[in-house]
Amino acid sequence: MPPVSPKASSTQRTSSFPAHSTNRSVCFLATTFITLVLLLFLLQIETLKSSLSSSSFSWPFFQLHKDESPCHDAAAELNRTRSILRDLVTFLPLRDVRVSESPRSGRGWFMSSMNDTFEDDDDDAQHLYFPSQASNGRLLCLSARDVSDGTKNSYALAWREALPRDAALLPGLTFISDTYYDHGNMWHGISAITPFVSWHQRKQCAAPDRWVLFHRGELRTRMGGWVQAVAEAAIGEVRIEDFKEHGDGPSCFEQAVVFRHEWAMKKTRKRQVYDMIRCKARSRCGVAAEAVGSKAAVRMTLLLRPGSRSFKNESAVIRIFERECEKVDGCTVKVAWSNNMTFCDQVKLMSETDVVASPHGAQLANLLLMDRNSSIMEFYPRGWRERAGAGQYVFRWMADGAGMQHKGSWWDPQGEECQSTDKTPPCIPFYKNRQIGHDEVYFAGWAAKVLADAKEHKLKEASYGGRSPEVGSAPCPCS
């Protein structure tokens, strides 16, 4: 007899049993197994019910009443789950004092548990957006009404279906700004709102339903007048939230974008944003291209200020610049004080300025309203060069970002010396409010050089048949 393969042998053994007998055996075993599993499951449930009923602690997911089955009421179970999620919402201090001394490092000290994100290209400022993948689809909620202590204000993330108890849901888009400085000062304020202008333009001109402002985590309910006028010209109506109409509970936002790192925007993108601000401000104030003046004229403005950092002898300084201007064909000089002009007065003045000469101060933020390649001359009191630190160069940086020509600075070498050896206060306040002297010979030579350069640029521009494109009649972005 030939050998039998294992496969054939196995087949023979299996086929030796009747087919109907095998099927009955399998069904019997399966039925027995399922019955045992169900009995064990029901026994466990009854044991758990007894345990829960005899205990003071009750876990909502497992509460089963005598007249209910485990699948009795899905809606009730959903409500119990929602209640648990509400109770799990955790509020954290808006201002993290652990890193408050180094707000520019790491994730920042405002909402410090969250990491910033960039857009697809990284030339814009970092920001936070809610709801997003980074927030796991959760909304941002704030309990933040304190105006003097940011550690008493708090934030949390919550799903829309399970907002914190007594929370108000604020519909639409909210712009949330925190700045290490403030929203009142022209320079600090424009730095804080510029990222929002950029985001507005990138997002098909999406405008916010409200603004929420913080300064070092403390709630603020107003912007400086000039800053708000710029924001409204560039984006639209500014409605600043104070939370007074939403009860005592937290407020959650249907959509929110948060900027807290305004310094991260790259120069190329910042220049585009400044162009948009300039265009929209001129449009808002009715400054037409035809009103700007002769293409070849050189227009100088002395933008002065009263009080601190004013010139000791304004009339002498004015005479120096007027005399040098008279030597340049087509040159005119205007003298203005920033404290007695409306926003639109300032927009019109700077639209008609090729060279601005001004003491260091917030009024120089108006330089972004000038045409590209315009010139800036800046003056400081004694002590600033040695004691004021990097902050004294903010308008040099702003001019560079806006496409202007910063033509240098003059630091007054004369004046009273601070007697303190400490380079921090009291010397900084001492020098900050000093007045500025003048040097007739230096001012005359400096003005002559800057005016000559401006004249050359204007003639070259005229020879090419036009002025800077942002002054023209083309529609502004987001018009």
- Residue 70's pLDDT is what? 54
CA pair distance 92, 113, nearest whole angstrom: 9
Mean pLDDT to the nearest integer, 119-125: 72
Residues 212 and 175: beta-carbon distance below 8 Å:
yes
- Residue 103's pLDDT is what? 55
CA pair distance 104, 119, nearest whole angstrom: 20
More confident residue, 100 or 138: 138
Pick from 137, 153, 48, 132: which is nearest to 85 by CA? 137
Mean pLDDT to the nearest integer, 235-255: 96
Residues 264 and 118: beta-carbon distance below 8 Å:
no
pTM over 0.85: no
Q: Measured between alpha carbons, how far is residue 37 from residues 33, 41, 339 in Å?
A: 6, 6, 85
Cβ-based neighbour number of residue 390 at 10 Å: 7
What are the pLDDT digits (tens) for 257-308? 999 866 678 889 999 999 999 999 999 999 976 555 567 789 999 999 998 8
What are the pLDDT digits (tens) for 51-74? 434 433 333 433 444 445 555 577
What are the pLDDT digits (tens) for 396-433? 999 999 999 999 999 999 988 887 766 556 777 778 88
Pick from 196, 175, 197: which is nearest to 276 by CA? 197
Of the pLDDT bands very low, low, confident and very high (cuts 50, 70, 90), residue 154 is very high
Least confident of 225-239, 359-373, 415-429: 415-429
What are the pLDDT digits (tens) for 101-112? 665 554 558 998
CA pair distance 280, 200, nearest whole angstrom: 13
- Residue 31's pLDDT is what? 47
Has residue 85 got a pLDDT over 70? yes
Q: What angle do CA 163, 166, 170 make, to 5 degrees?
A: 65
